[in-house]
Amino acid sequence: MIKLATQDKPFFSEDLKTCLRQVRQMGFDGFEADGALLLNQYDELKAAVKDTGVPVTSVCGGYRGWIGDFVDYRRKTAIEDIKIILERAGEIGAAGIVVPAAWGMFSLRLPPMVPPRPADEDRKVLIDSLSKLRQVCEKSGTNVFLEPLNRYEDHMLNTLDAAGEVIEKGGLYHVKIMADFFHMNIEEPDIKKSICKWKDFIGHVHIADSHRYQPGDGHTDFVYGFEGLREIGFQGTMAFECRVLGNAPEENYRQSVEYIRRCMEKAGL
């Protein structure tokens, strides 16, 4: 059964128990926690999950550095932080952590356009970082969800093909592909076909509409993409990762959850 989750929102309480209750009341099945919560407020988060029964389905970001960082000590720091997050994610029943190669570090489409490291080195570095996370994933029963970002946010992995090829080349089967509808809308020629091509690799999904606001407000064809998820028998979590437009953001967000549930139904999910 697919779960719908949300990342944190400005209108959710800072008190984690209250936050998780709000998440459920809004119509979600679970919460996608920032990794910083697992690093810095782990006891509070664990107690909130236990008290409310609302699961942390997944984790995203919140660690220092990037697995594809140009600076070696920052890459090592990222790996060490992610290891701690994954151990704790396993303890509280979360499926894993969403990890891009890097975010906002370099773009081949923005000046200076010439990266300090060649593409074949990028790939080696990514395979090396991801290999170092194999043991903790196996021990904690978690996955790394490797996320291709659009060309303006990262230069290493932009498509499901690029992420899938790194996984295959490195034999990294503790790593799954994270398919984000916002990035796919920019980079994939046909979202449904790309999802179907990587059917055994897709482990997690992010949703936002074409303009990265709440689903239902833009022009992304979610039903079409969800048909791909139905065809591959996807059973993971789809997490909302978007800003919320409008004067009544809480109500608009609630309506967006209803909209996505209708799209899921239309797609047979």
By CB under 6 A, residue 180 contacts ligand LER: yes
Distance between start and end Cα atoms, the chain: 9
Amino acid at position 172, single letter? L
By CB under 5 A, residue 180 contacts Mn ion: yes
By CB under 6 A, residue 149 contacts ligand LER: yes
54/146 with CB nearer Mn ion: 146
Compute how many other C-beta atoms are within 10 angstroms of the C-beta atom of residue 207. Answer: 25
C-alpha 13/C-alpha 120 separation (Å) is 44
Backbone angles phi, psi at 72, to 5 degrees: -60, -40
By CB under 5 A, residue 188 contacts Mn ion: no
On whether the CB atoms of residues 150 and 183 are closer than 8 A, the answer is yes
Residues 215-244 that bind ligand LER (CB under 6 A): 241
Q: How far is the CB of 98 from Mn ion (least distance, A)?
A: 7
Residues 42-101 that bind ligand LER (CB under 6 A): 60-61, 98, 100
By CB under 5 A, residue 206 contacts Mn ion: yes
Tell me the window of 22-30, 31-39, 146-154, 160-168 that interacts with ligand LER (CB under 6 A). 146-154
Between β-strands 96-100 and 56-60, what pairing exists: parallel, antiparallel or unpaired?
parallel
Residues 6-45 that bind ligand LER (CB under 6 A): none
Amino acid at position 29, single letter? D
Amino acid at position 141, single letter? G
The residue number whose beta carbon is nearest to ligand LER equals 100
Q: How far is the CB of 11 from Mn ion (least distance, A)?
A: 20
Site of tokens 């407000």: 217
The three-point CA angle 74-91-84 to 5° equals 15
| Of 44, 91, 147, 258, catalytic | 147
Is 241 one of the annotated active-site residues of the chain? yes
C-alpha 136/C-alpha 90 separation (Å) is 9
Which residues contribute to the site for ligand LER (CB under 6 A)?
60-61, 98, 100, 103, 147, 149, 153, 180, 206, 241
Catalytic residue ranges: 147, 241
Which residues contribute to the site for Mn ion (CB under 5 A)?
180, 206, 241
